[in-house]
Structure 1
Amino acid sequence: MSTEARETKIVDSYRVACDGSEGALGHPRVYLQIPKDVGYVICPYCDCKYIHRDFVDQVA
């Protein structure tokens, strides 16, 4: 069973940083690498899905 990502962000870089975007209520900043063959990565803390702009039409 899969669940929908809490938030989806379209990005221009294959390396992104995520801190939960909630100030003091967020999580530690993590740096995530988007695989060039998949086009997206999901933050292990907050489930935010980062999609590279080149894969927007290919990733659901």
Structure 2
Amino acid sequence: MVTQAPETRIVDSYRIACDGGGDALGHPRVWLMIPKETGWVECPYCDAKLIHKDFEGKV
């Protein structure tokens, strides 16, 4: 069985919301803060990696 890698999204804000997409198939909306030191955060529900545009290609 092959497990797919979590989604990676480039965002333009340090405070972002994640709801897993897919409408009713998603998860509860959570607000996440991207640390300015690392430039990325991982959603605790869907494991999506959210990267700020200033850190694209560096993470």
Would you call these one fold, judging by a TM-score over 0.5?
yes
| Identity percentage of aligned residues | 66
Question: Which string of whole-angstrom CA distances, capped at 9 and with x for unpartnered residues, describes residues 2-48 of structure 1?
Answer: xx851010011001100000110110000000000000000000001
Question: How many positions carry a matched residue from both structures?
Answer: 56
What TM-score does the superposition give when structure 2 sets the normalisation length?
Answer: 0.89
**8 Å contact 1:5–1:47 — kept in the other structure?**
no
What TM-score does the superposition give when structure 1 sets the normalisation length?
Answer: 0.87
* Structure 1 unaligned residues grouped into runs of 5+: none
Question: What is the RMSD computed on CA atoms of the aligned residues?
Answer: 1.3
Counterpart amino acid of residue 56 in structure 1? E
* Structure 2 unaligned residues grouped into runs of 5+: none
